[in-house]
């Protein structure tokens, strides 16, 4: 099996490469990543000598054509991924998430290869706090931000290429990931590293917003399951019943790091801030027999805190620039 991983130097993609190296040692792995601010070669330490790494852009038609021609399956993680950035400058999101996905689809169509497209639960918009329903494969698309609307658009392109051109593709929409190698712009690593730099965590608005947390290894074990057993043209939602409001997560981080639970600041809210995400992953569980391993969020969070304490060389170079961006928006 020859697998092409787009965005393999990012958070989830690099964890996926490590997982595949361990679980499927005979697979040949090629990573393509343009090494945006979010790509980090250090995230591939330990596997880099055992894979092919190509620095390049998924929007590059000729490069993508060549790489897709030489693989059996494309697993497409590459995207601009941060909502706050998409509110400050949407263009890179339109370019990478829409045009980049289009380039991959055309190459997959031309060469008759399989595609697994990685997407997000944010394509469904948000839920009220007291809504008894969760997102399912049948929920209507209703994205809120430039980020989520470009991801929704990329899902639609994949569906259209399956129906109109008969390409072989699957899609997964996952909830909020946490774990090692996540950029310090994201909620959990930002708060851990703020505390490590002796500053207070920063909660947007009231902090009632709920996210459905899943460990990155559980997301990736589900992706592997779908690649191997998923049915052509199907969408699978990935989640692990990890709903928590942001305020509670900050309090857990603070107490896990020996601080008082109230030692945080409220900062400017995100414009259009989605209130709640919640995933019903019963299709994945019943049809493919997938199960998450990290069902204890507190334990997973503890291990993640330890990873950021033990790997300061990985995140320190990213921290100052990230906080400088946030200062401009009062966040
Ligand atoms: P990330 O920002 O950490 O990594 C993205 C990677 O893609 C980076 O290495 C970047 O350099 C690369 N990239 C971006 N544009 C590119 C381009 N045009 N050409 C080549 N490489 C490019 O993101 P992540 O959190 O690892 O997310 C990966 C995927 O998972 C995304 O598609 C995202 O929408 C999806 N997703 C993320 C989450 C989450 O909680 N982080 C949840 C559900 C789905
Ligand atoms: O400093 C912060 N304070 C804060 O309260 C930051 C950075 C975030 N927040 C809030 C905003 C959200 O309610 O925490 C929550 C999580 O924020 P992010 O880490 O930015 O994630 P989110 O916007 O929920 O999107 C994430 O999950 C879905 C990923 O970034 C997306 O790529 C994925 O699709």
> What's the pLDDT at 143?
98
Strands (E), 37-174: 52-55, 73-76, 114-120, 168-174
* pLDDT tens digits, one per residue of 72-117: 999 999 999 999 999 999 999 999 999 999 999 999 999 999 999 9
pLDDT of 174-217, one tens digit each? 999 999 999 999 999 999 999 999 999 999 999 999 999 999 99
Percent of the chain's residues with pLDDT above 70: 100
Please report, rounded to a whole number, the percentage of residues in the chain having pLDDT higher than 90: 100
- Ligand 1 centroid–CA 208 distance in Å is 26
Catalogue the long-range contacts made by 283-288 (C-beta closer than 8 Å, 24 or more residues apart): 283/136, 283/137, 283/236, 283/237, 284/222, 284/225, 284/226, 284/236, 284/237, 284/238, 287/231, 287/236, 288/225, 288/226, 288/229, 288/230, 288/236
Does the CB atom of residue 146 touch ligand 1 within 6 A? no
pTM of the shown model: 0.99
- Band of pLDDT at residue 69, cut at 50, 70 and 90: very high
**Catalytic residue positions?**
121-122, 147
Domain ranges of the chain: 2-183+212-243+276-296
Q: How confident is the model at residue 245 (pLDDT cuts 50, 70, 90)?
A: very high
Q: What is the pLDDT of residue 331?
A: 94
Q: How confident is the model over 287-331, as pLDDT tens digits? A: 999 999 999 999 999 999 999 999 999 999 999 999 999 999 999
CA of 274 to the centre of ligand 2 (A): 10
2-183+212-243+276-296 folds as: Rossmann fold (3.40.50)
- Residue closest via CA to ligand 2's atom 3 equals 203
Hey, which of 186, 210, 330 would you mutate to test ligand 2's pocket, going by the most ligand atoms within 8 Å of its Cβ?
Answer: 186
Atom of ligand 2 nearest to the CA of 201: 1
């Amino acid at each position: 099996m020859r697998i092409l991983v787009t965005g393999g130097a990012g958070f989830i993609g690099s964890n996926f490469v490590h997982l595949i190296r361990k679980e499927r040692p005979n697979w040949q792995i090629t990573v393509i990543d343009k090494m945006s601010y979010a790509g980090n070669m250090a995230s591939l330490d330990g596997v880099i000598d055992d894979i092919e790494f190509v620095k390049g852009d998924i929007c590059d038609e000729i490069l993508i054509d060549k790489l897709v021609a030489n693989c059996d399956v494309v697993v497409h993680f590459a995207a601009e991924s941060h909502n706050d950035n998409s509110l400050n400058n949407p263009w890179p999101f339109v370019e990478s998430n829409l045009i980049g996905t289009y380039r991959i689809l055309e190459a997959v169509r031309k060469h008759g290869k399989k595609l697994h497209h990685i997407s997000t639960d944010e394509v469904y918009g948000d839920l009220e706090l007291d809504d008894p329903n969760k997102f399912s494969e049948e929920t209507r698309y209703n994205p809120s931000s430039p980020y989520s609307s470009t991801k929704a658009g990329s899902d639609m392109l994949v569906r259209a290429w399956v129906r109109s051109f008969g390409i072989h593709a699957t899609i997964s929409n996952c909830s909020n990931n946490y774990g090692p190698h996540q950029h310090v712009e994201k909620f959990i690593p930002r708060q851990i590293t703020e505390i490590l730099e002796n500053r207070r965590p920063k909660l947007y608005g009231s902090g009632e917003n709920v996210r459905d947390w899943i460990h990155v290894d559980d997301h990736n074990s589900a992706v592997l399951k779908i690649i191997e057993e998923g049915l052509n043209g199907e969408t699978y939602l990935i989640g692990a019943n990890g709903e928590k409001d942001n305020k509670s997560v900050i309090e857990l981080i603070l107490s896990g790091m020996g601080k008082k639970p109230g030692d945080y600041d409220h900062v400017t809210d995100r414009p259009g801030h989605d209130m709640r995400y919640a995933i019903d992953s019963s299709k994945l569980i019943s049809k493919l027999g997938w199960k998450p391993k990290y069902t204890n969020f507190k334990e997973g969070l503890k291990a993640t805190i330890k990873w950021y304490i033990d790997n300061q060389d990985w995140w320190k170079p990213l921290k100052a620039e990230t906080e400088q961006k946030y200062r401009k928006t009062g966040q």
